[in-house]
Structure 1
C-alpha cells in the first residue's frame, strides 16, 4: 500500500486506508447490489507506488469499477461514472480556485460566467442579458444530484467533447453548468420578464435528461467559438460553372463551421452532354463530386475531423451508374470518391419497374430542358427532376417521363430497372450506401409543396425541406466614392438548414412529462433560428423564411424494453403509431402557440398548414384513424387554430441518428434496435464494457438485438411513425453480409410501400461506418 498521497497543491499527506473505505461508500451509495470488497481489492491492487496522487486514486476506482461491468452487474458503470465525477469536481475546483465538498461539489456559477466571459471563452450575452442576481439565482437551481444520472461512457463523452475548458484545455465547466449555460444562451433574446422562467424550464428538461440538444448546440451554445448551432445543410447545385464552384465554396464555409452537408446534383448535365452547343464536351457529375470529396478532406470541421458531405442523384440521370460505383474499392480510381456519402433519389415509377422487371430510361437533365420545352409559370425551363406524382399511381412525373421516352430526338440510355437496383444493393452491402430517397412519397407529404420542391435529403436522410439552386444573376463593376468594386448579384435559392433536438423516450414517457417537455423543446429550437449566424447568406435567408426545426426522439428500444413490448409485434407497431401521433400533436400545438406569441413563419400562406390539407392527408380529422392519446375532436380543434393563428415553423418533426447524445443520455440510439447486449468502447489502452440501458432479468427478454430482428417488423414500425413525421427518419437496415438478393430486394420494396421517405445506412457486421458527428443529434 502507498505511504503518502500528493495533493494538487503538492502537499503530501499520510496515506489513510479508511478514506478509501469512505470514498468507496460514497460512489456505491444507492447501488445496493455492488460489492465494496471487490471494488477495494481492485483499487488496492492498482496502487503499488509508495507515493500516489489523488488523481491516481480516483482513476484506480474508475478502472476497477469498469473491470467489474458485466451483463449481470451493469450498475458498475454508474460507480465508474461517480468516480470520474469526483475527478472532474476536483479539477474544476483547483482550476477555478474554490473548495469542493462532497455535499457541494459546484463552485460559484456567477464567478464561472464572469471569468470565462472575460477570458473570451463564453459569449458576452451571458453577462449582458442577465444580472448578477439572476445568474446567482440560476446557480442556486443547479442540482448536482442530476449528475448521478450519467453512466461512465455518457459522462466521459460529455466531458471530452462538450464541457468548456480554458485555452490550455483545463477543466472549467461541470455538467450541470453546461446545461444551464445552454439554457441561458438559447433564451437570452426572450422578453426580460419571462426570460428566467424559460431558462429554468429548459434547464429542467436537459438536466433531467428528458431531452438532448443536438451536438452543435450542446458543444457551442454560449461559447465564443467559430462553430454554429445548426446540424445540417442541404444545397441544390445549379447547372453552371459559377453554380458548381459557388456551391463548393459554400460547402467549404459551412463544413469549416462544423455542419454536415447534403448536396443535390440532379440538375447538373451528364457526361457527354453539350456545353454551349459543343457536342460531347461535358464531363458529367463525377468530377464535381470528386471536388466535393477534396473539400470534405481538406476543409475539416473546426480542426477536429474531416468534413461530412453527402451527394444525391436521381435514378433517371444518365450518370447514375458511375455514381453508384463512387465508393467501391475496385475499378478506375479517377471515378471514385471515398470520402463522401451518396444517396439515390427514386420515383415510384422506378420501383414499379423494378418490381415488374421492366425497362428504365436514363436522361441528361440539360438535354431534357433543351429538348422538351417544359416551363414553369415564370418561363424557366423544367426537367424531369422538377415533377413528382401527386397521387399514388398517377401524376406529372410519370406523364413527363413517358413524353421524354417517346420523344424522337431526345437521347437516352435504356436498361432493365432491376440491373440498376442490383448495382444499388451491391454498393450498399459493400459500403453501407447509397441512401434511398423516395421522392414522390416525400413531395406528396410536403406541407409546403405550394412553395417548392424537395429534391433530396441531408447527410442523415431525416431532413426534407424545399430546395432550389442559388443563381448568379450578374457581375458588374461599380464605382462609388472613388472606389471601384466588383458587385456580384445572386438570386438566393432555398438552402436548407436543420436545427435539431430530441426527446429521451425512455425517461420522458415513463415520467409522463411530454406535455410539459415538447413546448420548451420547440421554443429552444425556434430560438436557435434567431440566434444563429450562418455565413452562407442564402441559408440564413431560407432559415428565416421557413423557420424549420427538427424535433426528434431516441431511446425507442429502451422504452419498449421498459414497457415490456417485443420489437417484433403488432403491439409495437400500434404503440409507435399512438406515441408518435401524440408527440406530433404536442409539437404542432406548441408551434401554433409560438405563432400566436411571435408570429407565423413568413411563407405560411398557401401551405397545407393553412388550408388544412396537412391534417386531412394524414386522416387526423376524418375519424377513420383515431389514436389512443389524441382524439379526432382534438385534431379538428387544432386544425382550426392552425388555420387561424398559423404555425411558427414550416417543418417540425425529424428523427436524427442521435449517435453521441444518446450515449451521453445512456440510452439506445434514435429509432434503432439495440446493437448488442454488451458493447465495447475502445480506448487507446483498454476497452470499456457498455451494457444495454436498464438491463435486468425483466428487460433482457425484450432486447432482441439488431441483426437477429426481422427487418420487416422495423419497417412496419417506421411506416406507422412516418404518418406523423412531417420530415423523415434516419432509418437503418440491419442485414447479414450473406443475405439473399431476393430477400434484400423485398426489404427495399417493403420500405417503399410502407410509406418510408428514406432509408439511411444498410448496416452489416462486416462494415465499419463513420457517421456525421454534427448530425448525430
Structure 2
C-alpha cells in the first residue's frame, strides 16, 4: 500500500470541505474490491498487492496529469478513474464489485437523507440568484418554484422516477444568463441522462419536452410569452384548439374545411391527460418531423395533432364531428396509428395520405423518363416507391429506332437513384425507392452489383433499394442443380406477365427457341451459381432483397384484372401494376396502398371475462372494435387523397386497396411471458393474425353494404368465396403439393365466406404488415413483428440519438431484485445482451433474447403462420450475427418453402453500440472493444450454429463455445425440413469475428444493412 505522500492535490468532499488527497484511500478501496471477488484468503497475496499498487499508481498518474492547478478534485471523478483503471487492467469482475460497493454507499447516503427530511417537492438548490435571458435580451430571475413544480408534475404517477434527481441534474447545467430556450431544454436533457437507470425517465423527459412545446405553441398563438402546466391544459385545450385551427387556416397550412366542424365539441372531446403518455423518443420524433410549424416555431400540440389527423380523415363522413371524435380517440389512445404520410398531411391543404406506390416502367424512352418523373411527383409528398424495371431491354439488345445496341437497365436505375436523393419529401425524410428485377433478366448480374462500393460508380446506386423478383421455376432449378437461362425482355415479352405453371412452360419454350437460334440475346448459367451470387450480394450490401413472384400472384385476390410485378419500398405491398399503352400511357395503373397499424400490445391485457378470465391474453373484443374503426379510416383515405399522377388515382379508385398491419408483437410476448424463439410464440403469431384478418375482412365487407363494393370486385377471389386462408391451396397446387405451410383455422370462416360472397368487399386488399419504424416510436412499442434489437442501445435517427432500454426487462429484473447500478453497467458492457451476465436466470435470458441471438428460422416460421391470413405480405427482416453461406441458403429457401411472399432486410450487427462513456469505469473501453474483436463477447458464441434447418430437439443442439452460456431452446428450430444446398457460399474468414464491427465476407467492402443506420428508410 502506498505511503502517505504529499501529492499537491486536494479533494472536495461531499459536505464541501477541501482536504489533501490521500492515495492510500484508493489502495484500501481497491483491495476491498479484489477481496470481494477472490476471498479474504487473497489478502496476503503478493500478486494482489502488486495489482493494487498498479491500479493506484495508474489513477494517481491520470489525476496528476489532468488536474488543473489549485482546483480540488471531485470525489466522484476520482472513483470513476478507479473503475476505469480496473477495467483497463482487465479486471471486469473486480470493477463490478467496486461499482456495487459505490452503489451500496450511494443508497445508504440517500436513505440517510430521506430519513433526515422528506419534503413533498424536491428542494430547490440553494445558490446565488440566477437570471434568465429572454429572446429580446431582457433578464429576469429564474422562477425556481415553477421549475420545481414542472419537474414534480412530470414525475407524478411514476413510482420509480425521483423529481429530486432530475432537479439536481438540471441545476448542474443552469448558469447565470441562461437563455429561455436553454432553460427549457435543461430538465429534458437531465431526465434523458437517467433513462438507462430507469425507463420511467423517458416519460419524464417527454413530459418536460411537452412543457416546452406548450410554451412555444401558446406563445405563438397569443403573440406574447405564455406557459401552462399539464394540469392547466385540461381547461386550456378547447380554447387553444379553436385558435390553432383558425391560425393554421390563415397560414394556408390547414384545409379551410376544418373550420366547418363543430370546434367547440371537438375541443371538449380532447383528452389532455393523454399528453402524459408519450416516451421521449416518441414525442421528440413528433416535434421534429410531424407537428405543424411556422418558420420553425411549432404551434401544434399533441392532442391537436391527433384531432387534426382525425378531422382530415372524417371530412367526408356524414356525421363528421362524431367520426372525427371516434378517430381521434383511437389514435390518441395509441390503439392504432396511421402511417407517416397520413400523419404528415391529413387535414392540410395537400392531403397526400397514401404510403406506397408501385409502378411498372415500360421499354420505351419516353415511358422510362415518364416513370422517373412519376417517382419525383409521388415522393414529393412522402410516398415510398417500388418500381418494376423488368420490361426494359437488357445489355446488347437491338434498338430498332437507332439500329444500335442497348446499354441495359442500369444507366436508367442510376437516374432513378439520383431523383430519389433530389426529391427528399420536403426535408422530412429521404426520398425512398426500390427497383425490382426478375431473375431471368439478362442484366440480373449487374443488378446484383448496384449497391457495392467498388467498381464503376456510374453503374452504382448507393441510395436506392433493390430487390429480386424470383419465380418458383428458378428455385426449383437451384435445388435440382439445373441450368438457368437469362433473356432480354424485348425478345420474351410475355414472361413478365406469366407466373406459376404458365410461366414455367413458356420459359422452357423460350429456352428451346434459344437453342434453335431464334433468340439473339441470352446467356446460360448454373442456377446454383446465380443463387450464390444473389445471396452473396445480399449479405455484402443488404441488397437486393429476395421476393417471390409466384406466391405473390397465385394468392393475389386480383388475378382477374392484372399481375403483381413487384412489391413496394418495404416489401409488404403486393398489388397489380400496368405500364399503359402508347405515348399517353392509356390504361396505366400505378398501384397505391394506404397503411395503418394496430398496436397489438395495447390489446394484450389481464382479461376480465370469457374463457381466459383472470389471465393475460388477447382482448379479442377490443381488437374487433379497433380493427373495424381502423379499416373505415383507411378506406376514407382513398377518397380524400391528393393524387399527384392520374394513373395512381385510376388504380386506387378502381380497386380501393388498404393495408392494415400491426406493431408491438415483441411487447405482447413479454407480457405473455413467451420467448420469441418458441413454438408458443409461433402459435401466438398465428392466432393473433387470424383474429386481425377475420375482423378486417368482416369490416371491409360491412363497408361494402354501406358504401358499395369496389368496382373491380366481380371475378376476384373474394367474389368466388376464396379468402386468403383458402388461396394457400392455389399456391400448393402450382407447386405440386410442395408447400410446407400450416392450414389450421380456429374461427368461423365459413360464415365469413358466405358474408363476403353476398355482401362483397369494399377493398380489393385489406392487410399488409409494414415496418412501422417511426409510428412504433411514436406509440412507444416494438416495431412491427420484429424481435427486440438489443435490450439497451443508442438509437440514431433523424431526430438524434436516444437511449433505448427494454422496460419489460427492467420490470422483470426489479421483480427479482436484480436491477441495480451493476446490472446497468453489465448491460452496457455486453451491448444489451444477457448471455454473459451470470446472475441473470436462464429463463430470463431466454425470454429477453435479442434479434441476433434468435435463429432466423423462428422468424420465418412465425412469418409463414401470419402469411396464411394475409392478402398482401409483410416486411420480414432477418438477422445474422456470424453467418455462413449455408445459413443464408437455408433461411431463404425455408422462406420460399413455407409460403412467405417476400423478405426484407438482412440485418447484421452494427458498429454502433451502447454509448459506454456514460458507464462509470469504462470510459475509453469502447475504443478497445471496437478495435479488438477478440476482447468483445462474440454474438455467435451466444447462439449454437443451427446446422441444417430441420426439427432439432433442444437437447441435441450443438453446444455453445467454451465458457459461454448456451441459449438452449433458442437454437432449436421449428419442424420444417429444407433440402440442403449442394454447395454453399464461402464462410466468413476465421479472422473476422462477430464483434462490435460488422462481420463481412472475405474481400467484401460493406456489410449487410445495420438496423440503426439513420439513412435506412426502415429506420425512419
TM-score clears 0.5: yes
Q: Aligned ranges for residues 283-298 of structure 1 at < 5 Å? A: 283-298=407-422
* Aligned residues of 1:271 and 1:283 also touching (Cα < 8 A): yes
Q: Does 1:499 align with 2:613?
A: no
* Aligned residues of 1:310 and 1:341 also touching (Cα < 8 A): yes
Q: Distance in 2 between matches of 1:537 and 1:527?
A: 19
Match of 1:559 in 2: 668
Higher RCO (CA 8 Å, separation ≥ 6 residues) = 1
Q: Aligned ranges for residues 185-196 of structure 1 at < 5 Å? A: 185-191=312-318, 194-196=319-321
Match of 2:335 in 1: 210
Q: Distance in 2 between matches of 1:635 and 1:146?
A: 38
Match of 2:478 in 1: 354
Secondary structure of residue in 2 paired with 1:758: coil
Q: 1:75 Cα deviation (Å)?
A: 1.0
Q: Distance in 2 between matches of 1:771 and 1:649?
A: 34
Secondary structure of residue in 2 paired with 1:561: helix
Aligned residue pair count: 726
Match of 1:62 in 2: 188
* Aligned residues of 1:232 and 1:774 also touching (Cα < 8 A): no
* Aligned residues of 1:256 and 1:301 also touching (Cα < 8 A): yes
Match of 2:551 in 1: 441
Match of 1:23 in 2: 150
Match of 2:67 in 1: none
Distance 1:666 1:653, change over 3 A: same
Q: 1:575 Cα deviation (Å)?
A: 0.8
Distance 1:86 1:580, change over 3 A: same
Secondary structure of residue in 2 paired with 1:602: coil
Distance 1:555 1:598, change over 3 A: same
Q: Distance in 2 between matches of 1:258 and 1:684?
A: 15
User: What whole-Å deviation, never above 9, does each CA across 1:544-575 have from its counterpart, x for those lacking one?
Assistant: 00001111111111111111111011111111
Q: Distance in 2 between matches of 1:93 and 1:654?
A: 39
Match of 1:109 in 2: 241
Distance 1:666 1:693, change over 3 A: farther
* Aligned residues of 2:767 and 2:872 also touching (Cα < 8 A): yes
Q: 1:687 Cα deviation (Å)?
A: 4.5
* Aligned residues of 2:386 and 2:569 also touching (Cα < 8 A): yes
Q: Aligned ranges for residues 63-102 of structure 1 at < 5 Å? A: 63-70=189-196, 72-97=197-222, 100-102=228-230
Larger Rg: 2
Q: Distance in 2 between matches of 1:181 and 1:603?
A: 32
Query: Which shifted more, 543-552 or 348-357?
Result: 348-357
Secondary structure of residue in 2 paired with 1:698: helix
Q: Distance in 2 between matches of 1:9 and 1:199?
A: 38
Distance 1:59 1:683, change over 3 A: farther
Secondary structure of residue in 1 paired with 2:393: coil
Q: 1:163 Cα deviation (Å)?
A: 0.8
User: What whole-Å deviation, never above 9, does each CA across 1:385-434 have from its counterpart, x for those lacking one?
Assistant: 21111xxxxx1111111111112123421111111112111211221111
Q: 1:2 Cα deviation (Å)?
A: 5.1
Q: Distance in 1 between matches of 2:148 and 2:675?
A: 43
Match of 1:376 in 2: none
Q: 1:775 Cα deviation (Å)?
A: 7.5
Distance 1:626 1:300, change over 3 A: closer
Match of 2:791 in 1: 677
Match of 2:161 in 1: 34
Q: Distance in 2 between matches of 1:159 and 1:367?
A: 53
Alignment RMSD, CA only? 2.4
Q: Distance in 1 between matches of 2:152 and 2:1014?
A: 40
Q: 1:52 Cα deviation (Å)?
A: 3.9
Match of 2:943 in 1: none
Q: Distance in 2 between matches of 1:583 and 1:268?
A: 39
Q: Does 1:151 align with 2:151?
A: no
Match of 2:829 in 1: none
Q: 1:67 Cα deviation (Å)?
A: 1.2
Secondary structure of residue in 2 paired with 1:219: helix
* Aligned residues of 1:667 and 1:693 also touching (Cα < 8 A): no
* Aligned residues of 2:135 and 2:180 also touching (Cα < 8 A): no
User: What whole-Å deviation, never above 9, does each CA across 1:746-772 have from its counterpart, x for those lacking one?
Assistant: 011001111110111111123446678
Q: 1:160 Cα deviation (Å)?
A: 0.9
Match of 1:744 in 2: 888
Secondary structure of residue in 2 paired with 1:282: strand
* Aligned residues of 1:214 and 1:502 also touching (Cα < 8 A): yes
Q: 1:18 Cα deviation (Å)?
A: 4.5
User: What whole-Å deviation, never above 9, does each CA across 1:316-360 have from its counterpart, x for those lacking one?
Assistant: 111111111111111222322222111111111111222222211
Distance 1:775 1:318, change over 3 A: same
Match of 1:762 in 2: 906
* Aligned residues of 1:262 and 1:457 also touching (Cα < 8 A): yes
Q: 1:12 Cα deviation (Å)?
A: 5.5
Match of 1:458 in 2: 568
User: What whole-Å deviation, never above 9, does each CA across 1:214-257 have from its counterpart, x for those lacking one?
Assistant: 111111111234x6111111110111222212111211211223
User: What whole-Å deviation, never above 9, does each CA across 1:77-133 have from its counterpart, x for those lacking one?
Assistant: 1111111111111211211226634422234211211121122121111013x1xxx
Secondary structure of residue in 1 paired with 2:425: coil
Q: Distance in 2 between matches of 1:431 and 1:384?
A: 28
Query: Which shifted more, 439-448 or 418-427?
Result: 418-427
Q: Aligned ranges for residues 578-597 of structure 1 at < 5 Å? A: 578-597=687-706
Q: Distance in 1 between matches of 2:271 and 2:656?
A: 33
Query: Which shifted more, 278-287 or 245-254?
Result: 278-287
Q: 1:279 Cα deviation (Å)?
A: 6.4
* Aligned residues of 2:327 and 2:629 also touching (Cα < 8 A): yes
Match of 1:136 in 2: 264
Distance 1:2 1:342, change over 3 A: farther
Match of 1:483 in 2: none
Match of 2:496 in 1: 385
Q: 1:224 aligns with which of 308, 325, 349?
A: 349
Q: Distance in 2 between matches of 1:9 and 1:281?
A: 65
Q: Which runs of 5+ in 2 are unaligned?
A: 1-126, 606-617, 730-741, 814-843, 910-997, 999-1008
Match of 1:402 in 2: 508
Q: Distance in 2 between matches of 1:208 and 1:463?
A: 27
**Could you tell me the TM-score, scaled by structure 1's length?**
0.89
Q: Aligned ranges for residues 524-603 of structure 1 at < 5 Å? A: 524-603=633-712
* Aligned residues of 1:5 and 1:54 also touching (Cα < 8 A): no
Distance 1:208 1:772, change over 3 A: farther
Q: 1:365 aligns with which of 483, 486, 489?
A: 489
* Aligned residues of 1:228 and 1:534 also touching (Cα < 8 A): yes
Distance 1:526 1:104, change over 3 A: same
Match of 2:532 in 1: 422
Q: 1:692 Cα deviation (Å)?
A: 2.2
Q: Distance in 2 between matches of 1:183 and 1:45?
A: 42
Q: 1:684 Cα deviation (Å)?
A: 11
User: What whole-Å deviation, never above 9, does each CA across 1:171-220 have from its counterpart, x for those lacking one?
Assistant: 211001000011111001011xx222211111111001111111111111
Q: Distance in 2 between matches of 1:639 and 1:159?
A: 45
Q: Aligned ranges for residues 643-658 of structure 1 at < 5 Å? A: 643-658=757-772
Q: 1:517 aligns with which of 626, 644, 658?
A: 626
User: What whole-Å deviation, never above 9, does each CA across 1:266-316 have from its counterpart, x for those lacking one?
Assistant: 111111111228766122111111221222223332244542111111101
Secondary structure of residue in 2 paired with 1:506: helix
Distance 1:717 1:626, change over 3 A: closer
Q: 1:252 aligns with which of 370, 376, 383?
A: 376
Secondary structure of residue in 2 paired with 1:263: strand
Q: Distance in 2 between matches of 1:233 and 1:648?
A: 20
Q: Does 1:127 align with 2:259?
A: yes
Match of 1:508 in 2: 603
**Could you tell me the TM-score, scaled by structure 2's length?**
0.68
Q: Does 1:664 align with 2:773?
A: no
Distance 1:257 1:57, change over 3 A: closer
* Aligned residues of 1:237 and 1:244 also touching (Cα < 8 A): yes
Secondary structure of residue in 2 paired with 1:362: strand
Q: Distance in 1 between matches of 2:128 and 2:582?
A: 72
Q: 2:523 aligns with which of 397, 410, 413?
A: 413
